[in-house]
Amino acid sequence: MNENKTNINWYPGHMAKTRREIKDNINLVDIVYEVIDSRMPLSSKIIDIDELIGNKDKVLIMTKYDLCDKTETDKFIKYYKSLGYKVLPLDLINMKDVSKKVLEISNDTYTKMNDIRKNKGLKPRSLRAMVIGVPNVGKSTLINRLVNKKAVNVGNTPGVTKTISWIRINKDLELLDTPGILWPKLENQKFAHNLAVLSSIKEEILDPEQLTSYIIEILYNLYPEQLKTRYGIDKVDFDNLFDLYDQIGKNRGALLKGNLVDYDKVFSIIINDLKTNKFGNITFDRIEEVE
C-alpha cells in the first residue's frame, strides 16, 4: 500500500477538558453509550475508554449502519460481542423505535440499578447514561432520534457539541451528552486518516491532496469496483496520481481557463463524493487489524 506521509495529530483543548469532565461525572451515570461509526468500527473507537469510565456498564452503539459494508462491519460486531460488549447497530435515518431499542439493550442495567435502590428503600428512577464518542459519529443525531425532536445541534463537521449537558429523553432515560473526543496521540496513522476522510477530524488542517490520495488508495485496495463505477478507473498508478486527477477533472468539468484541470476542485469532488456516500456502502477498517 502506498505510504501516506501526512502526519495527523489533532487534540484541541476542549477535548482535553472533555476527558477530565467525563472522569469527574462518570459516577453520576449508570451506563455508558459509546457511539462509533459503522464505516470505521475500529478507527472510531476510543482506545482508552475503560480508563475513562472504569467498570461502568457500557453499550457500543454503531451508527450509520445503513452506510457501511455490512459483510465487513458485521465481523466487528461479532468481535466486540466476543469481548463482552452489548452491541447495537443503528440506521438513524430510517429506523423506527430507536428509543425502544436503546432501552431494551440497557434493560439489565436499568433493572439492576432499581433493584439496588429498592433494597435500600429508595424509589425507582430513570436510567442515567453518558454518551461519548469521537467527533461526528452520530451522537447528536442519536440523541435527537431518542428524544424525537431537535434536542441538540447536528452538523457534518467535528466539534458541534461543545459542553457536557443533561437531556431528558423520557421517564425511563436521561442522557449526559459529551463533546467528541480523540486520544492525545493518533499513533496509528491509518486510523487517523480514516477519521479524517470520514469527518471526525477537521479537514481544514490537512493537505487536501494527501487526503485525496489516501481516499483513492483505500478505495482501490478495498473497493475497486466502486472506484471504477464512479470514475471509470480500472488501474491506478500511485507514482502518477495527477494523470488520474486529470481524467476526473476533465470528466467532471473541473477546469480552469485554457482547459487546465482545477486540481483543488478535483480534490474537493473526491472528498465530497466519499462524505456523501457516492461510492456506495463502504467500511474502511478490516478485522485483521485488531490482531
Interior CA angle at 82 toward 130 and 195, to 5°?
55
Please state the domain count of the chain: 2
pLDDT for residue 76 is more than 50: yes
Residue 195 lies inside a defined structural domain of this protein: no
Do 142 and 73 belong to one domain?
A: yes
16: pLDDT confidence band, cut at 50, 70 and 90?
confident
Q: Specify the pTM.
A: 0.86
Residue closest to 281 by CA, chosen among 10, 45, 37: 37
Do 255 and 157 sit in the same domain of this protein?
no
Q: What's the grid cell of residue 16?
A: 482535553
Of 43, 40, 47, nearest in space to 19 by CA: 47
Are residues 170 and 270 located together in one domain of the fold? Answer: no
The DSSP result for 162-203, as a single string, is -S-EEEEEETTEEEEE------S----HHHHHHHHHTTSS-G
Q: What is the pLDDT of residues 237-263, one digit of tens each?
A: 999 999 999 999 999 999 999 999 999
Range of the domain at 222: 207-290
pLDDT digits (tens, 9 = 90+) for 194-218: 888 887 566 555 788 988 999 999 9
Domain annotation covers residue 197: no
Residue 237's CATH number: 1.10.1580.10
Cα 50 off chain centre by = 18
Residue 156, pLDDT > 60, answer: no
- How do residues 81-118 score in pLDDT, each as one tens digit? 999 899 999 998 888 889 899 999 999 999 999 999 99
Assess if residue 191 is contained within a domain: no
CB 199 within 8 A of CB 154: no
Asked if 171 and 217 sit in the same domain, the reply is: no
Domain co-membership, 170 together with 220: no
- The residue among 177, 198, 215 that closes a domain is 177
Residues 130 and 217 in one domain: no
Arithmetic mean of pLDDT, 161-165? 62
Q: Is 274 found in the same domain as 149?
A: no
